[in-house]
Structures are given as C-alpha cells and as structure tokens.
Copies of this chain bind each other. A is one copy, B any other.
Amino acid sequence: MKVLVVGANGKVAKQFANLTQDHNDIDEKAVIRDSGQKSFFDERNIETQVLDIIYNSIEDFAEAMKDVDAVVFSAGAGGSGLDKTVMVDLDGAIKIMTAAEQANVKRFVMVSTFRTGRKQIAKGIENDAPLKIYTIAKNYADEWLKNRTGLDWTIVHPGTLTDEKGSGKIKVGMGNKHGEVPRQDVAQAIIASLENDSTIHKEFEVLSGDEPIDDAIKSV
C-alpha cells in the first residue's frame, strides 16, 4: 500500500517513516515542506515530494496523490503562531481531504489531538488562548472529515507525546483519562490502522497501555 504522509517531517511521522522500514506492505511517499528535509528520507529510501500545505493548491496535492492508496495527515503548525494553526490544522487539513477526494484516494488517517469537541473548546479560554484555537482548529477539521467527506477515515487521538522508546503496548477507546504515549507507539498505531480496515469510520484515543498495538487497534 502506497501511503502519502502529509507533514512527514514531524516527530510522529518520522517514527512512522522508521517503522515502514520493517513493514513491506507500507510504502511511504513523504510530503515535505522544503528540500532541506529530504536527506532523512533519502537515507531510508523513501520517496519525497516538496509541497507546502499553505502555499500549494488542492490540485497540487491531488496530483501528488495520483499513485497512492492512502493518506496520513500528520501536519501541524506546532508553535509557529495562531495564524499558522488556522491555516495548517484547519484549512490545510480540509485542503488535503478535498485533494484526496479529487484524487479518489478514499483511505484517510488523521492524527488529531487528544480531545476535541465542544466541552474541550469551552475550557481554558482565559489561560490558554492558543490551546483553545488549536482545539477549535482540530475539532472542525475532524468534524469535516467525519461529516463532510466520503472518505474512509480513521481519527487517532493521541495523549501527550513523548520521545521515549515505544513499549509496543497501548490503550485505546474514547473518554480515557489523559496520559502520555510515546510517539513511536502512535506511529505503530497508525500503521496498524492502515493495515486494518475495521478502523474505517472509527476514532479512538491512543495512550500508553497494556495491550499489544495490533490487538488494541483490531478491537476498536
């Protein structure tokens, strides 16, 4: 399966790239923002394409998806400003969904945030406007994916990401208490989602846990 990863140079996505080395069924095509990010992927024999989620068009992305079977959206503005959060996490995500529809690539895995939704948006207004904006952006991107596209979506809601080595075990489900999870385990959960069509039209949290990742993903 050829998988276009948008935001391929991010920390979760780089773990994903590493894991594809041991997964012959997953063939990554990495979308990077500038060619300076290329060497990491060259070393791993992963095809790259330079595209910018803000500046390139839907058509550019649809063209890049012509030869792929699935899209993983793992881009995020991070701490680069509220304007970028809206342009990347909300509008950018919806651009990529629209491109996938144009290119007729149905399978779409979204890396979301731990909690979206109204209750979460209502929190932290005074103390943390950036978090609120981020939550709004991710929320409406998820809503769009679920309700406004015909894509075969899966939405992954990871806990607080750490750089620890993955344990290979996670907890899934919705409404869990907040916790941490290594990026490597999240990347593994994304691969397992791509490998299991039972995750289509499902969303679930991913936290450190006791269940082997494949079993957990098959259970969602």
A-to-B contact residues, CB < 8 Å: 54-55, 57-58, 82-83, 86-87, 90-91, 94, 118, 121-122, 125, 129-130, 132-133, 136-137, 140, 143-144, 147-148
A-B contact pairs, 7 of them (CB 8 A): A55-B125, A83-B130, A83-B132, A83-B133, A87-B136, A91-B136, A140-B144
Which residues of B are found within 8 Å of A54, using beta-carbon distances? 125
CA distance A153 to B163 in the complex (A): 48
> In the complex, are the beta carbons of B82 and A86 less than 8 A apart?
yes
CA distance A57 to B77 in the complex (A): 28
CA distance A83 to B86 in the complex (A): 10
Copies in the complex: 2
Write the chain B residue with the least CB distance to A141: B140
Known pairs A54-B125, A86-B136; list 17 more (Cβ under 8 Å).
A57-B122, A82-B82, A82-B83, A82-B133, A83-B129, A83-B132, A83-B133, A86-B86, A86-B137, A87-B125, A87-B133, A87-B136, A90-B140, A91-B136, A143-B148, A147-B148, A148-B148
- Which 10 interchain pairs have the tightest Cβ spacing? A83-B129, A82-B82, A91-B136, A86-B133, A83-B133, A86-B136, A82-B83, A140-B140, A54-B125, A91-B121
CA distance A82 to B77 in the complex (A): 15
Shortest A36–chain B CB gap in Å is: 20
CA distance A8 to B218 in the complex (A): 52
> In the complex, are the beta carbons of A136 and B90 less than 8 A apart?
yes
CA distance A58 to B121 in the complex (A): 12
Which residues of B are found within 8 Å of A130, using beta-carbon distances? 83
Which residues of B are found within 8 Å of A55, using beta-carbon distances? 125
CA distance A99 to B157 in the complex (A): 27
Write the chain B residue with the least CB distance to A135: B91
